[in-house]
Amino acid sequence: MLIEKKEQEIVSRAQDNPVSFAPLYDYYFPKIYNYIYNKVNNSQLAEDLVSETFYKALANIKKFQWQDRSFACWLYTIARNQVIDQFRKRDPILFDNNNTALTAQTEKGPEEKVIRDVTREELFKAIRTLSPDQQDALLLRYQEDLKIKEIAVILGKNEGAVKALLFRGLRSLRKKLKGGDFNAAI
Amino acid sequence: MPQFDWDKSIEDLCSSEKEAQELQEIASLLCGMPKAQSSPLFRDNLKERLMEKIRDEENADGNTKLVDFKALLSRKHSLRRPAFSAAAAVLLIVAVTFLYNQGMFINKSEIANPTDQPPSKTYVSFNEWPSGEEQLPEDGKTDIPLVDRENNDYAPKGEPDGEIQESNEGISIPGGLAPETETSETLQGPEATDPAEPLQEGEDPLKEEPEFEAWENEKVLALGGKVKPESVYYNVRKEDNPEQVENTRCFWNPRKFVSAAESSEGAMGSKAWAEEILLNEGFMVKEGDYLEIVQQETQKGAYAEIIYKKQKGGKQNPALILHCGEKEGIISYYYEEQGGYAQPGFYRLLSPAQAFERVKELRWHTPQQRASFSFQEVSLTYHEFEVEANGRQKTVTLPAYCYLGMDTLSNGDSFQVYVPAL
């Protein structure tokens, strides 16, 4: 996250003059794209939803108030609602077969000793079998690096509930990944 | 593996230590998965579309207010009957035409000579035409008198849409005195125009404030941790594990420019002026260094952007950007990142004097019981720093100030220290 005070200044500037929205866009664009892409797993759809998210954020930035939530929470909430609306519309989501959207490589580390040879596609495929709230909790915590408190604000739950979501989500993932039979699990 | 912040509280929910460890591994795996990235083309296109939308809305805003204002006029003066609305509009046009024919409009040349004007007169000048389809009057600018704001018969009092709004070019009136052309109008009283230098046709008015690209497109670098102060070894070898010396004093004494008599150097915008500014900040401009000065005139005075890049140093140095005002001196420090170590763009920097406070936090190792160092020069470069986050350390390359100093107690050799410039 941006340093809160600095972020407040930038948001305040953007509220006064929307042209100053650019630094917020630059900073949050990759994060919002990653979050939405992980939810929908389709680059075309992700681009549409990211566009909608930023259009809405820009249109409503004057209404945003620093109270009990940060700008990041507010923005992720918009993004999450876009995804929810998309699923509500029941539009068929076409999943990308080739992960051309991925450019970085996973580093090998000791963490992979229990769950070996899990590709990104397999991991996120498994995540998408979890409940929507578990998905959001896991993605926001471990991909977007948000704090539990922030996730609680975005999901509209208390911190204890978010911890429970994380715990149950991780346990479900372990079960699916440890079995190694992802397709059967999905 | 990226920084991973495991929530210990989740362990309380686990049935065993083994389960806790496995869940932690999965969380770590998820954390370490590469991020999905969009194409830069889409990212840039979307940004451009958003900025375009902002511009469109700003332009439309004036027109919308104009329409609203006309609607308000109709409501206020028509007794809610359409016939009266039309009559009011016709009367308005007739009144304006009548005033025009009576010669109550003042030529631009009269604005330039305010002594000929009644002191309380205010003028509206059309200088913005938001729609390309609308035609400017032949002379490109028409001046008509504005009704008295205190006793405004046109603008309804207390209605937000009728309020006079401040804008960059002056005070804009969202309302129509020329209903056939929906334009935004700018109020320019005699005090808003320099009587000695009336604007010429086709000449752009001076910007109210300076505009620099770095200000408009400033990026923020989030470190996600704290930079660990470096250890400095002076006259000792690191391998010898020398003790840290607490009694160390460091001073920042940049070589100030000493004016030689009444030299012509220092005219704002000149190379000599820029070199003087840089030198006073500790930057030694040398042969082969890149130096560019971009000036701009505003209503607040002259401003300049100095772009300076040290060529020597063995590696690609970032470009330092200073913004200066003729009255204010140095206003801001930035550097331009090309994309090698962070997203390309402009990042705000501390001044060398501000960043120097961090030199005092360095961990000094010298064989001397007490030491005193004086630093005279600085350069902007890249340097690797240890960043500590959540109990873990990682090496991050950051823009850094490299200070060149020397031991003032024992005539020691000069040496360099690095601190983050952000």
Instruction: Give strand pairing partners of B419.
Output: B401
Q: Are residues B297 and B373 both part of a single domain?
A: yes
Q: Are residues B108 and B149 both part of a single domain?
A: yes
pLDDT value for A152: 92
pLDDT value for B5: 73
Q: Which of residues 217-236 of B touch A (CB under 8 A)?
A: 217-220, 222, 224
DSSP state of A96: P
In chain B, which residue's Cα lies nearest the Cα of A18?
Answer: B54
Asked whether residue A184 carries a pLDDT value surpassing 60, the answer given is no
- Exposed e or buried b per residue across B311-325, where buried means at least 16 C-beta atoms within 10 angstroms of its C-beta: eeeeeebbbbbbbbb
Q: Are residues B68 and B188 both part of a single domain?
A: yes
With an 8 Å Cβ cutoff, is A18 touching chain B?
A: yes
Q: Are residues B401 and B287 both part of a single domain?
A: yes
Q: Which domain holds residue B14?
A: 1-33
Highest mean pLDDT among A95-99, A147-151, B195-199, B218-222: A147-151
Q: Are residues B160 and B229 both part of a single domain?
A: no
Q: Is residue B21 part of a domain?
A: yes
**Averaged confidence pLDDT in chain A:** 79
Min Cα–Cα distance to chain A from B302, Å: 23
Q: Are residues B256 and B402 both part of a single domain?
A: yes
pLDDT value for B209: 81
Q: Are residues B74 and B93 both part of a single domain?
A: yes
**% pLDDT > 90, chain A:** 34
B96 or A97: which carries more pLDDT confidence? B96
Among the residue ranges A35-44, A124-133, B320-329, B382-391, the one predicted with the least confidence is B382-391
With an 8 Å Cβ cutoff, is A107 touching chain B?
A: yes
pLDDT value for A111: 38
pLDDT value for B137: 35
Q: Is residue B128 part of a domain?
A: yes
With an 8 Å Cβ cutoff, is A15 touching chain B?
A: no
Q: Are residues B171 and B260 both part of a single domain?
A: no
Boundary-marking domain end, from B192, B221, B251 = B192
Q: Is residue B407 part of a domain?
A: yes
Give per-residue pLDDT as tens, B287-346: 888 888 888 888 888 889 999 988 765 557 889 999 998 888 899 999 988 877 887 888
pLDDT value for B380: 92
Q: Is residue B201 part of a domain?
A: no
Size of interface A-B (CB pairs under 8 A): 155
Q: In this predicted complex, what is the ipTM? A: 0.81
Q: What residues in chain B have per-residue pLDDT under 50?
A: 1, 64-85, 103-202, 259-264
Q: Is residue B203 part of a domain?
A: no
Q: Are residues B166 and B227 both part of a single domain?
A: no
Give per-residue pLDDT as tens, B19-63: 888 888 889 888 888 888 888 889 999 999 998 888 887 777 655
Under the banding of pLDDT at 50, 70 and 90, the label for residue A74 is very high
pLDDT value for A17: 86
> Are the beta carbons of A50 and B46 separated by less than 8 Å?
yes
> Are the beta carbons of B29 and A115 separated by less than 8 Å?
yes
Mean pLDDT of A65-92: 81
Q: Which of B15, B25, B30 to mutate to test the interface with A (most CBs of A within 10 A)?
A: B30
Q: Are residues B29 and B53 both part of a single domain?
A: no
Mean pLDDT of A111-131: 70
* Full set of structural domains in chain A with CATH: 1-93 (1.10.1740.10), 117-186 (1.10.10.10)
Q: Are residues B390 and B414 both part of a single domain?
A: yes
How far from B352 is each of B233, B278, B334, B380, CA to CA, in Å?
22, 11, 12, 9
Q: Is residue B208 part of a domain?
A: no
Instruction: Give strand pairing partners of A115.
Output: none
Q: Are residues B51 and B151 both part of a single domain?
A: yes
pLDDT value for B397: 87
Contact B327, B200 (CB under 8 A): no
Residue linked to tokens 């004057």: A62
> Are the beta carbons of B35 and A2 separated by less than 8 Å?
no
Entry pTM:
0.41
Name the domain count of chain B: 3
Contact B210, B296 (CB under 8 A): yes
Q: Is residue B206 part of a domain?
A: no
Give the residue among B118, B117, B129, B125 at the shortest CA–CA distance from B144. B125
pLDDT value for B86: 55
